[in-house]
Amino acid sequence: MPAENREPLNVEVDDGRTLIGRSSQLRRIWDVIQRVAPTDVSVLVTGETGTGKEVIGRLIHKLSIRAAKEFVAVDCNAVAPSLLESELFGHERGAFTGADLRRAGMFEVADGTTLFLDEVANLPLEAQAKLLRVLQEREFRRIGGRHLIRSDFRLVTATNANLTSAVRAGSFRDDLFHRLNVVHIHLSPLRERRQDIPLLMSYFIDRQRLRLKRPGPYRVSHQAVDLLMSYDWPGNVRELENVIQSAILACTGDTIETSHIVFGSGSPAQLACAEEFDLPFRLARQRSLASFERLYLLSQLRRYDGRIILVAQHAGVTAKHVREMMKRHGISRRDFRPPLRFRNLAIAKPRVSPPDAPPPPHPTEVPPAQPAASL
Segment-wise mean pLDDT, segments of 10 residues, the chain, 375 residues: 64 91 94 96 96 96 96 92 88 81 91 96 92 93 90 96 95 96 96 91 90 84 87 92 90 89 63 61 76 80 85 88 85 64 47 49 45 40
Q: Say if domain 194-348 classifies as CATH 1.10.8.60.
A: yes
Separation CA 35–CA 41 (nearest Å): 11
CATH label, 3-188, candidates 3.30.230.10, 3.40.50.300, 3.40.640.10, 3.40.50.720? 3.40.50.300
pLDDT digits (tens, 9 = 90+) for 201-227: 999 999 888 888 888 788 888 888 888
pTM over 0.95, yes/no: no
pLDDT of residue 95: 78
**Strand ranges in the chain using DSSP code E only, listed in sequence order:** 9-14, 17-21, 43-47, 72-75, 90-91, 103-104, 114-118, 139-140, 149-150, 154-159, 183-187, 219-221, 255-256, 341-342, 345-348
Distance of CA 247 to the CA centre of its chain: 19
* DSSP string across 30-68: HHHHHHHTTS---EEEEE-TTS-HHHHHHHHHHTSTTTT
Per-domain residue ranges of the chain: 3-188, 194-348
pLDDT of residue 268: 52
DSSP state of 305: T
pLDDT of residue 13: 94
CA dist 187 to 19, 73, 184, 195, Å? 12, 19, 10, 15
Q: How many CA atoms lie within 13 A of 220 on its CB side?
A: 27
Task: Please answer whether residues 54 and 86 qualify as being in contact, where contact means their C-beta atoms are separated by less than 8 angstroms.
Answer: no
Separation CA 254–CA 248 (nearest Å): 9
Separation CA 82–CA 98 (nearest Å): 13
pLDDT of residue 266: 53
Q: At what angle do helices 197-212 and 236-250 cross, to 10 degrees?
A: 50
- Give me the phi and psi of 155, to 5 degrees please: -105, 130
Separation CA 16–CA 206 (nearest Å): 12
Residues 6+ apart with CB under 8 A from 255: 217, 219, 220, 221, 348
Q: Dihedral sign, CA of 113, 86, 82, 41?
A: negative
* DSSP string across 233-275: -TTHHHHHHHHHHHHHHH--SSEE-GGG--BTTB-HHHHHHHH
